[in-house]
A and B are shown apart, each in its own frame.
Chain A
């Protein structure tokens, strides 16, 4: 009873479990705790929605970002260094 009351009001624990759930399987106990909390907490339900959306946005951003290409001088210098070492052997 006491434990139930505790999780009902513990948004810190609930958001922790939301993040954990997005990466791994929760234990039975954790999963029940989270469900009980979410049933009564609209703030954490909103958090859960946004967290998933932010995770996807981060992934998209990381995958799509493209930087300026390498400059040719750097590449030429690198090529020279490699040639130098290859010729040594």
Chain B
């Protein structure tokens, strides 16, 4: 029982299935990873073939050009070190993408960790803002109003996108990470919770608060 839990180099109990693509499987029995060469990888062409793709992938998810560039660099360098972990079962790009994704989730965790200590006033106000009274009823100031039509107007779509973007930037980092993982990567709830180290009940609360805040911000700024 104890042995089978570790057979793939990571815990296989239900909670833990986000596997680091850089960690070699123990079952491959690699004696010295660094001396292994891999015929499927062409590191000399990585920058030409994948740098732009990986950068776009990262910048969309971390919303910061400098961090995204660092991530691309870290990914290539880490991949070089661990070329032996590449199993050749996926394409080079898929493997590199898996690595950068893992690193992006590290950034998410870091951001949400530092947020606890160093919250901006705006974030604090957001988190304390209450939309409901003690009985759970909408506070009149926050009544949902019919401010957007259900049929999107293509002429207004761009402007609406701008407002939405600004409203999303106001969300706390952890909430935005949850949104990105859910809407861009379409990750499942267990994967999001596991990657961000949050409980599922915490996750529902974040999703709820994030949507309430986003909707309120849109109502306030979209006229």
Contacts and interface: CB of A to CB of B under 8 A. Distances in A.
A58 B179 CA distance: 8
A54 B51 contact: no
Interface residues of A, number: 43
Contacts of A61: 161, 164-165, 168
Question: Majority SS of interface residues in chain A?
Answer: helix
Nearest to A62: B184
Given A46-B146, A58-B168, A75 B56 contact: no
B137 interface: yes
A10 B136 contact: yes
A75 B52 CA distance: 9
A74 to B, nearest CB: 6
B136 A70 contact: no
A15 B212 contact: yes
Given A57-B164, A69-B55, A81 B215 contact: no
B138 interface: yes
A79 B143 CA distance: 55
Contacts of A63: 184
Contacts of A59: 183-184
A31 interface: no
A19 B76 CA distance: 38
A43 B136 contact: no
22 contacts: A11-B137, A12-B131, A12-B136, A23-B189, A43-B144, A46-B144, A53-B150, A54-B218, A55-B211, A57-B161, A61-B165, A62-B179, A62-B184, A65-B165, A69-B52, A69-B55, A70-B55, A74-B69, A78-B51, A81-B73, A82-B43, A82-B76
